[in-house]
Amino acid sequence: MDMILFGTGLVAKKILAYPLRAGNRIVGMLDNNSSKWGKPFALGSKAYTSNILECIIQTPEKIKDMCYDFVIIAVLNGVWEIKKQLLDLGDRKST
């Protein structure tokens, strides 16, 4: 399954410190922090990178151009606000 990771902070790094199930892959990374847009995601030495296809952090609006099966909201705070934001952008696959 193709996944988008929304949030590129500590929670995302914790998620990527473990291997994804076979057949799953990260196809996009989104963040609301404009200072991160267009920059590579700092994976860190413990990240499993074989299932990550896109490591450049994108603006949330880019979700409209992406093909994916679901979104992982990888934040500690503001999950419901991000879910609403994604719904407003037309996403119906957020988890």
**pLDDT tens profile 16-56:** 878 778 788 889 999 999 999 999 887 765 555 666 766 88
Q: What angle do CA 52, 53, 58 make, to 5 degrees?
A: 100
In the prediction, which pLDDT does 33 show? Answer: 96
Give CA–CA dist 71/26, Å, rounded. 10
Burial class (CB in 10 A: 0-12, 13-18, 19+), 25: middle
Please give the model's pTM, rounded to 2 decimal places.
Answer: 0.84
**Do the Cβ atoms of 71 and 3 come closer than 8 Å?**
yes
What mean pLDDT value characterizes the chain? Answer: 86
Count of residues making up the chain: 95
| SS3 label, residue 64 | helix
Q: What does the radius of gyration of the chain's CA atoms come to, in whole angstroms?
A: 12
pLDDT band at 95 (very low <50, low <70, confident <90, very high): low
| CA dist., res. 1 & res. 88, Å (int) | 23
Query: Rounded CA gap, 55 and 41, in Å?
Result: 5
